Structure 1
Amino acid sequence: MTTTQLTPPYYAVIFSSRMGEAEGYAEMAERMVKLAAEQPGFLGVESARGADGFGITVSYWESEEAIAEWKANAAHLGAQEMGMARFYDAYDVRIARVERAYSGPGERPPVR
């Protein structure tokens, strides 16, 4: 699925972070993506991290209620606590409603 296959309106949770310690992070992030994919209202996720430790993950959701349920998920809460204590030097979360989406020519990486 690509983001252009999603039909607006939908919501994007934009999580940007500066990585601190990285050991164990990839495994935790993979578990969270798998768990999020099981949540009602989850539409997909895109993620990238640069060599300098700055990363951005955008998850897509059907509703604000679905986002709130994901935020309150017990395993996700544990991962958030671990992230704050161990993995992230700094982070920001933004939630946006996507009203329009379009793409240009060329192949785009899929939303997981």
Structure 2
Amino acid sequence: MIVDHLKPPYYAVIFTTIMGDNTKGYAETSKRIEALAKQQDGYLGLEFARNEIGITVSYWQSLEAIQNWKNNIEHTEARTLGREQWYKQYQLRICKVEREYGFKK
């Protein structure tokens, strides 16, 4: 689903991953973390695509909201599992969205 109700300015956290061979527990943790993120102050939405390269984009009201999410204990535990078990590589980018436009039939 494309998040199309946001009004700039806001922030996007872009998390790009390449999975390793051991993905045990990944799907369950991913669903739990997504549900937890939705409960965080400042959370605005989420989009993702997962195939050869996984791309998850979450949207936030402020840099403070992003920092608070980063410091969430369960999220911290999931990041540790990602580095130790699931990911061959990942890259995280934080961007300020100042303008957007789209199309919908």
Normalising by structure 2, we get a TM-score of 0.94
Q: 1:99 maps to which residue?
A: 98
Alignment of 1:44-55 (within 5 A): 44-50=45-51, 52=52, 54-55=53-54
Q: 1:109 maps to which residue?
A: none
Q: 1:78 maps to which residue?
A: 77
Please provide the CA RMSD for this pair. 1.3
Shift of 1:101: 1.1
Structure 2: gaps spanning 5 or more residues: none
Q: 97-106 or 81-90: which moved more?
A: 97-106
Q: 1:34 maps to which residue?
A: 35
Question: Over residues 30-58 of structure 1, what are the superposed CA-to-partner deviations in whole Å (9 max), with x where a residue is unaligned?
Answer: 000110111000001111111x3x10000
Q: Give the distance between the partners of 2:67 and 2:86, measured in 1 at CA.
A: 23
Normalising by structure 1, we get a TM-score of 0.88
- Identical-pair percentage: 49
Alignment check: 8 A CA contact 1:4 1:101 kept: no
How many pairs does the alignment contain? Answer: 104
Shift of 1:2: 4.6
Alignment check: 8 A CA contact 1:9 1:98 kept: yes
Q: 1:9 maps to which residue?
A: 9
Shift of 1:3: 2.8
